[in-house]
Amino acid sequence: MKWIKRYGPYLVLYGVAFLWIIPILWMADTAFKPTRDIFSIPPKWIPSHFTTEHVERLFAEWPFARWLLNSLIVASFVTLGSLVVSVPAAFSFSRLHWKGRDAVFMFLLVFMLLPWQVNIIPLFFMMTKFKFLNTYQGVALPMIAMPIGVFLLRQFFINIPRDLEDAARIDGCSSLGVLLRVILPLSKPVLAAFSVYIFNYAWNEFFWSMICLRKPQMVTLPVGLKILQGAFEIDYGLILAGAFMASLPSLMVFLLLRRQIIRGFTLAGSGVKG
Amino acid sequence: MGLKGRGTIPAPFSKMRNRIGRFFYRHPGVEGFLFALPYMALWAVFLAWPVVYGIYISLFDWDPLRGSKFVGLANYLELFREPRFWNAVVNTFKFAGMTIPLILGLGFVFALMVWGWGRKRRGIVVVQASLFFPYLLNVSIVAIVWKWLLERDVGLFQHYLNSIFPSAPVFLTEPAWALPAIAVATAWWLAGYRMLVFQAGLEEIPVELFESAEIDGARPYHKLVHLILPLIKPSLLFALVLTTISAFRTFGQVLIMTEGGPGWASEVLALYLYRVGFDYFDIGKAAASGVVLLFLILVITLLGVRILGLKSELQ
């Protein structure tokens, strides 16, 4: 009885966690076992031998490295772009006063709740007109325009004590000075959380990326995997090698920065409450 | 130039700086607006305008090559007469009805588990990390892995299920089971994020409340119903609205796992929109279904915000 009380919770916790990552373990397992083992019945947990043939084929026959690079460029572009436009906007919506500010912000709020991907048809034709199809800026710009960042940052900026700003202004700070010297230094955790959230969002975005990027050389990882999967419906070795290699960057970054990432998502997900 | 300690600024610039500074000092409203302007411009072009433009396109027999023809509401009427459209609407609601409770329920149970049992236990981080990690994968990875797990005969889950229950269906090829299977995959993908949010909510509850409840002889069940649930209700409701919105725009999982099949059995609205627009090139109709989907989400969100009294949450 005492034993159960002491170790029971551990058993449940680790049991659930293990069950939860079986799909990931199975993905890694499939990616590195010979095709014969992949289709064996019953499923073979331990491969007869370890092989990298699928991964080698992935890099030899597909522009997988290029997809990785594209994802990295798009996600960085979106993150930086968002920071550059959202920070001053959030500052303006929280600490500066101008006519119609709150009405405009309410309007933004409604749009935050609407998923912009639903607009792919008009966006597609707009981007055709701008000649932005198959370009990084084409995929990135609608994501940069997402209001979530402005919303999140505003929530935080609003709670910074007024006195700090007043003191800076008395010392001769302009609004820009207040933003750069008072607000931003105090907002490092929120800016980090925001960056983690947006980077992950852009890194994983699928619907619009698939519509906007149509050249196999230009696509990001999620779209590339879709191409891979569509080309060989049953070549599971290759497809899962692709899926595994695509999840590897996330896994490595997560193992390195677990604490920061979890804190970032917690802040982004619940910070909305203020 | 009157700016002591700022000798590094060349004279003409400092003069300009002064002039700009004076202008903004006299017109603070202009300055505030300018700070918001870059974002607002992007927002107007890439978010607000497409909505208007989408409504515009939906009123046309759209053909950018040979010229478009204004048809009024004909696209909408055609849409409403089409069984495949209604099928997609029903599937979208069914899918939402399945994923939302799964995601929120699992997320809440995980949060309770990790929070309640994890406080005095080492190694809880590993558990939390394992439960959260799937959220960081992209939708293609999730869909590919689950399609493989559910593959006939050779898929890991499908195989063991069929060896325990020989009559268990092959999920992804069975019209009644394809959508639930996708819902489970989606819950696996997203529940970890809800766990984090709920866990943050739980951690905000003062420990003293639990202590005094224990002194009063409260059972775990009482603590859950009378203490935990009322206190994290705001984060539950907020998560409900966000999860609902994301359920309604589900696309990638369905496209990769079943392509809407078998037949149209798992076709949801976003996938229908994609098919009509980019496979059948009926742009006007696709835009119309986009407007319908947007409208649906708007109504549900506003209703949710109204009914659940979330207005204060959002401000």
> Where do the domains of chain B lie?
1-40, 76-314
Interface test with B, best of A11, A13, A132, A203 (most B CBs within 10 A): A13
Tens digits of residue pLDDT in A184-222: 888 888 898 889 989 999 999 999 999 999 999 999 999
Q: Does the beta-carbon distance from A17 to B57 stay under 8 Å? A: no
Residue to substitute from A24, A118, A258, interface B, most B β-carbons within 10 A: A118
- Name chain A contacts of B127, Cβ cutoff 8 Å: 13-14, 16-17
Identity of the residue in B50, B146, B235 whose CB atom sits nearest the CB atom of A122: B50
Nearest CA in chain A to B187: A20
pLDDT, residue A273, reads 43
| Sequence letter at residue A189 | P
Question: What pLDDT score was predicted for residue B70?
Answer: 87
Q: What pLDDT is stored for residue B7 in this prediction?
A: 41
Chain A within 8 Å of B145 (Cβ-Cβ)? yes
The answer to whether the CB of A74 falls within 8 A of the CB of A208 is no
Which residue type sits at B292? V
Out of A14, A39, A125, closest to residue B154 by CB: A39
Short-list A68, A31, A17, CA closest to B148? A31
Residue at B116: amino acid letter: G
Residue A274 is predicted with a pLDDT of 36
**pLDDT given at position B17:** 65
Q: Could you give the CA distance from residue A163 to residue A185 in angstroms, rounded to a whole number?
A: 15
The superfamily in CATH containing domain B76-314 is MetI-like (1.10.3720.10)
Upstream peptide bond of A42 is cis (omega within 30 degrees of 0): yes
Q: What percent of chain A has pLDDT over 90?
A: 45
* Least Cα separation, residue B219 to chain A (angstroms): 16
- The domain spans of chain A are 1-51, 54-273
CA dihedral B268, B270, B272, B276 (to 10 degrees): 180
User: For the ranges A90-104, A138-152, B68-82, which has the lowest average pLDDT?
Assistant: A90-104
A contact test, residue of B53, B68, B144 with most A CBs within 10 A? B144
* pLDDT tens-digit map of A169-181: 888 788 888 888 8
Query: Which residues make Cβ contacts (< 8 Å) with residue B200, sequence separation at least 6?
Result: A266, A269, A270, B235
| ipTM score assigned to the predicted complex | 0.91
Contacts of B279 (CB under 8 A, 6+ apart): none
Shortest alpha-carbon distance between residue B212 and chain A (Å)? 23
Distance (Å) from the alpha carbon of B315 to chain A's nearest alpha carbon = 8
**Chain B residues in contact with A273 (beta carbon < 8 A):** 234-235, 238, 313
Contact A239 B33 (CB under 8 A): no
Do the Cβ atoms of B242 and B264 come closer than 8 Å? no
In this structure, what token pair is assigned to residue A180?
């750069």
Helices and strands per DSSP (H, E), number in chain A: 16, 0
Nearest CA in chain A to B116: A9
Low-confidence ranges of chain B (pLDDT < 70): 1-17, 25, 308-315
Does 1.10.3720.10 match the CATH number of domain A54-273?
Answer: yes
